[in-house]
Amino acid sequence: MTKLRVHNLAVSLDGFATGEGQSFETPFGHAQHRLMQWFFPTRTFVSMSGHEDEAVGAGTRGVDDAFAAATGDRIGVEIMGRRKFGPQLGPWEDESWRGWWGEEPPFHTPVVVLTHHERPDLVVGETTFLFRDLSAVDALSFATSLADGLDIRLGGGPTTVRQFLEADLVDHLHVVVVPILLGRGVRLWDGLEGLEERFTVEVTASPSGVVHYVFARKPQ
Amino acid sequence: MTKLRVHNLAVSLDGFATGEGQSFETPFGHAQHRLMQWFFPTRTFVSMSGHEDEAVGAGTRGVDDAFAAATGDRIGVEIMGRRKFGPQLGPWEDESWRGWWGEEPPFHTPVVVLTHHERPDLVVGETTFLFRDLSAVDALSFATSLADGLDIRLGGGPTTVRQFLEADLVDHLHVVVVPILLGRGVRLWDGLEGLEERFTVEVTASPSGVVHYVFARKPQ
């Protein structure tokens, strides 16, 4: 049974999953990299980023890494919102933008990019970006057809995750609360009153100062 | 040195410290008692509420109780907003309302109630309520003059706490994040971007599912 999973979705203590003012230079707006500081020291990140010290097993192996490492486990496809792919709004002025991730993106699977402005499929390294104008339900069906029996990662951003939560399509939601106050940006939790009734919730505080929330959907 | 301390300020995961629709029947609006469920089993609460099982030492003594018990330690006076005292708005229609707490409120100290509509001092049991129209700075001075060298508790609600945080008057802030989504009500964190820069932050997850945040103001 294919599940829809969210991993490592970081929010500030005041609930913002991204800051204000996204641009090519600042994918997270004024939040900059502060929401992901907990992630950078982990073994998982160090391995992904291909640092030469990877070979010597660098990086932490504590609770933050345990959660980080689960991100890619048995994932066959990712769904993301257009704002995770790039900062552009409206029709594509050109199609030269190939995402934030360089020539070998970390996905290595099909990635469904939800957008009202479709464009041709884009192959970058081992990743294929598929630009589709689909509802949450239809996107999940399409992604399931591509997943080869594995799970689907819902990669963000917050507006996209909220849409899938509102439609009650998310099976596993891992949120990382970072002890900073961003004050402005895009909120994750708006419009989700009573969400906890549909999930069991497990909470773990990390020595790094972040708190890991795991929402697991109750059997229906 | 008298310090200004906030204890046991509970907020939902989406940042609401009280729900929508406060009334005489529902002091926390639609949140009802859900923000304080973690508190009721503690030894501290059981003792306060004067249950007959107090004598046998009932109540939990875990991390939630450890935080709850610190609430009254060396407190000489409390400051609260008018909405903590009662649900009325505007001029007092009559002065028959004596607070939510019956004939022996749990304060046992002077309590400064901040309101634009002053009324005569009110003695209830061992507690005296002093209704004053003061700025945050002036309220702190007034409370300090009453505190007899002890500390001052800033008792809420969220709007009042936010005012004192904006004015950088709070020395100790204990917030309890409850894993529910209220969706609406009064937010604690609005307008406090960058608050963490002025504080050290310690985070503890409780087996009850709540997370205790302690903000301690950095030496100036």
What average pLDDT does this structure show over B53-59?
Answer: 68
Give the sign of the dihedral formed by CA A71, CA A77, CA A80, CA A82.
Answer: positive
Residue B98 lies in a domain: no
Q: What is the pLDDT of residue B50?
A: 65
The residue with greater pLDDT, A220 or B184, is B184
Residue B128 lies in a domain: yes
Task: Verify whether the Cβ–Cβ distance B211 to A209 is below 8 Å.
Answer: no
Q: Which residues of B touch A35 (CB under 8 A)?
A: none
Q: Which member of B177, B179, B196 has the closest CB to residue A196?
A: B179
The answer to whether residue B201 neighbours chain A at the CB level (below 8 Å) is: yes
What average pLDDT does this structure show over A80-97?
Answer: 92
Token reading at A89? 């709004």
Residue B183 lies in a domain: yes
Residue B52 clears pLDDT 90, i.e. is over it: no
Task: Verify whether the Cβ–Cβ distance B189 to A181 is below 8 Å.
Answer: yes
Q: For the beta carbon of residue B25, count every other beta carbon within 10 angstroms.
A: 8
Residue B27 lies in a domain: yes
CATH of the domain at B135: 3.40.430.10
DSSP H or E run through B11:
strand B4-12
Q: What is the pLDDT of residues A43-76, one digit of tens each?
A: 999 987 765 555 567 899 999 999 999 998 999 9
Q: What is the pLDDT of residue A55?
A: 57
Interface predicted TM-score of the whole assembly (ipTM), two decimals: 0.92
Q: Which residues of A touch B211 (CB under 8 A)?
A: 177, 203, 205, 211
A41-A46-A47-A50 Cα dihedral, nearest 10 degrees: 170
Residue A12 lies in a domain: yes
Q: What is the pLDDT of residues A167-192, one digit of tens each?
A: 999 999 999 999 999 999 999 999 99
- The residue to which tokens 């990635």 are assigned: A111
Boundaries of domain holding A206? 4-89+104-217
Q: Which residues pair with A216 in a beta bridge?
A: A172, A200
Check if the beta carbon of residue A137 is closer than 8 Å to that of residue A117. Answer: no
> What's the number of domains chain B is made of?
1
Percent of chain A with pLDDT over 70: 96
Task: Verify whether the Cβ–Cβ distance B209 to A203 is below 8 Å.
Answer: yes
Residue A95 lies in a domain: no
Residue A38 clears pLDDT 60, i.e. is over it: yes
What average pLDDT does this structure show over A150-168?
Answer: 97
What average pLDDT does this structure show over B123-145?
Answer: 97
Candidates B20, B15, B13, B17; CA nearest to B184 is B20
Residue A94 lies in a domain: no
pLDDT confidence bin for B174, thresholds 50/70/90: very high
How many alpha carbons fall within 13 Å on the CB side of residue A48?
18
- What secondary structure, in 3-state letters, does chain A show? CCCEEEEEEEEECCCEEECCCCCCCCCCHHHCCHHHCCCCCEHHHHHHCCCHHHHHCCCECCHHHHHHHHHHCCEEEEEEEHHHHCCCCCCCCCCCCCCCCCCCCCCCCEEEEECCCCCCCEEECCEEEEEECCCHHHHHHHHHHHCCCCEEEECCCHHHHHHHHHCCCCCEEEEEEECCCCCCCEECCCCCCCHHHHEEEEEEECCCCCEEEEEEECCC
Q: What is the pLDDT of residues B154-170, one digit of tens each?
A: 999 999 999 999 999 99
The answer to whether residue B203 neighbours chain A at the CB level (below 8 Å) is: yes
What average pLDDT does this structure show over B160-186?
Answer: 97
The answer to whether residue B190 neighbours chain A at the CB level (below 8 Å) is: yes
Q: Which residues of B touch A31 (CB under 8 A)?
A: none
Of B46-55, B84-93, B170-179, B185-194, which gets the smallest average pLDDT? Answer: B46-55
Residue B30 lies in a domain: yes
In angstroms, the separation between the Cα of residue B18 and the nearest Cα of chain A is: 13
Residue B55 clears pLDDT 70, i.e. is over it: no
Beta strand ranges found along B126-179 (DSSP E) = 127-132, 151-154, 172-178
Task: Verify whether the Cβ–Cβ distance A181 to B204 is below 8 Å.
Answer: no
Task: Verify whether the Cβ–Cβ distance A201 to B179 is below 8 Å.
Answer: yes
User: Helix (H, G, I), strand (E, B), or coil: what is residue B172?
Assistant: strand
